[in-house]
Amino acid sequence: MDTTLRTERPQSAATGPIAGSRAATLAELFALRGTPCSFARNKTIASEESPIERVYRIERGFVRCCSYTEDGLRQIFDFAGPGDLLGFPDLETWHFTAEAIGPVAARYLKPDTLDAVLIAEPRIAKALRRHCVQQFARRERHLVWLSYLQSDDRLQAFLEAFARLGETQDGFVELPMTRKDLGDHLGMTLETVSRCFGSLKRCGRIAMEGACRYRLGAERSEASAA
């Protein structure tokens, strides 16, 4: 029900269980045995239907998890960020396409490696099951948004959920994705997304700084214009 499906963020390096060669959490496992890699803006990290040869954990940047219909429409299921996992060791093929929104840094493991760890280390196996089912719950929340919220509230629900993982020091959150991306995520056109930003601003439900930085709640710095 909550959005904290990211595995723990701050992982204070070499102290603690990492000292031994046996990792106890997914974060440790990738830090210890993962191979670093990176992707440029708009590069495809994995394609729907292609075999899963690597399971990634994102370290920096954001990724679009999406699917294309035969007529070229795109449904974005999720924006994955630092700490998120991409791919499951038990599936043969990717069930979505993953694309780097901006520059992305990640680490990966081979499914075979992960498989072996899952048998040897029940805590990791459990963590992976929980990760999977939490992603699952996230999709269900998304379904509720699409069914029962109108565009304004849909955008606000997204902004509230996203704020929990992108916040900066001054309370503003940076959006890495375009209006089109948001539209493809929220089931509306980019024009409607833009209009919704306008109306949320006008109602004082958010404050904006340029097109890509927002803060929740009524504006505090600027005069509350009617």
Partner DNA sequence: CGATTTCTTGAAGCGGTTCAAAGTTGGTGG
Partner DNA sequence: CCACCAACTTTGAACCGCTTCAAGAAATCG
Write out the residues near a copy of itself by the rule CB under 8 A.
1, 49, 67, 69, 73, 75, 77, 88, 90-91, 93, 95-96, 118-119, 122, 125-126, 128-130, 132-133, 135-137, 139-140, 142-144, 146-148, 184, 187
Closest CB to a copy of itself among residues 109, 173: 109
- The C-alpha atoms of residue 34 and residue 12 are separated, in whole angstroms, by 16
Binding to DNA by CB under 7 A, coded x per residue (else -) over 202-221, reads: ------x-xxx---------
Q: What is the dihedral of CA 4, 34, 110, 128, to 10 degrees?
A: -20
210 binds, among DNA, a copy of itself, none (CB under 5 to 8 A by kind): DNA
Give the count of beta carbons closer than 10 Å to the beta carbon of residue 117: 19
Question: With binding defined as CB under 7 A, does residue 194 bind DNA?
Answer: yes
35 binds, among a copy of itself, DNA, none (CB under 5 to 8 A by kind): none
In the window 129-168, what residues touch DNA (CB under 7 A)? Answer: 150-152
Contact 64, 45 (CB under 8 A): no
At closest approach, how far in Å is the CB of 181 from DNA? 8
Closest CB to a copy of itself among residues 117, 206: 117
118 binds, among DNA, a copy of itself, none (CB under 5 to 8 A by kind): a copy of itself
Please state the three-class secondary structure of 123-192 as a single string: HHHHHHHHHHHHHHHHHHHHHHHHHHCCHHHHHHHHHHHHHHHHECCCCCEECCCCHHHHHHHHCCCHHH
- The C-alpha atoms of residue 181 and residue 162 are separated, in whole angstroms, by 14
